[in-house]
Chain A
Amino acid sequence: MSVMTTVYNAVTTDATISGLIGTRMYWKNPTLEDTFPLLSYFTADETGDYSFGGTGVTQEAEDATIQINIYVDSFLNMDTIKSQLKVVMNGLGFRQIQGAETFDAALSKQVRATRWVLTNVSDF
């Protein structure tokens, strides 16, 4: 199973998070018509090169960085989702590397970006 699918399944089946967002975890951007709170996610970067020489071409380990945005109406939901998201992602072996928060004027919602990296990914 790919990393993205694993993340989606783990987040949307977590009781605390799904109690707030249901299965509203979308790839890329939410729209005004959506029900909030919700999550959006996408690949921020994937790294890993091929090295040449020796016995031939070998692939180095890949790192996958996924960004999950939390869109909410209430700060209380933001804190609950964020802290539970950390529990779920850490359980999958991800660690958080960056985060930022802003107001999405187009959707009129508070949004928090969280970035998670997983090293030595085999299926991305």
Chain B
Amino acid sequence: MGVKILGMKQVQKNLDKVGKSLSEAKTKGLIEVGETGVSIIKRNTPVKDGRLRGSMTYTIANKQDGLESPASRSDTLDKNPKKDVVILGTNVIYARRVEFFSKTGSAGFFLRSFNQIKKVVKPILEKHYKRALK
């Protein structure tokens, strides 16, 4: 006596398809988080000559975006090869000094940005996952 289950190949194929589209959705979602996050950071970044604000970028899957003049490529983060991690920020040497030790009220601009970004991550990722599962 036995039970024969038919169609497992098709089930496996469909599961693989769902897994792939969820993975793609995650990367797309993180790219949108990066774009939105950089715009939030730029809104909060204090401006003197614009170098710090222009240097704010995000990087994911060897892609990097957000760089604006007068910042140069050396002011930006190193490219991140991972598809499931997005990194936002700057490589400008005085950024840390502005964030922690500015005496003109600019201190904490990055912390405030981070707290604002935290709130948009969940709805953005939810949107992309829902699309992938339709």
A104's closest neighbor in chain B, by CB? B101
Q: Is the CB of B96 within 8 A of A67?
A: no
Task: Determine if A10 is an interface residue (Cβ-Cβ < 8 Å).
Answer: no
Please give, as numbers and ranges, the residues of chain A lying within 8 Å of B97 by CB-CB distance.
102
Decide: A44 and B111 in contact? CB cutoff 8 A: yes
Interface pair B108/A45, CB less than 8 Å apart: yes
A-B contact count (CB 8 A): 34
Chain B interface main SS type: helix
The interface residues of chain A lying within 8 Å CB-to-CB of B101 are: 69, 100, 102, 104, 111, 113
Q: What residues on B are CB-neighbors of A69 within 8 Å?
A: 101
| Overall SS of chain A's interface | strand
**Minimum CB–CB distance for A13 against chain B, Å:** 26
Please report the C-alpha to C-alpha distance between residue A113 and residue B108 in the assembled complex, in whole angstroms: 11
Confirm or deny: B71 has a beta carbon within 8 angstroms of a beta carbon on chain A. no
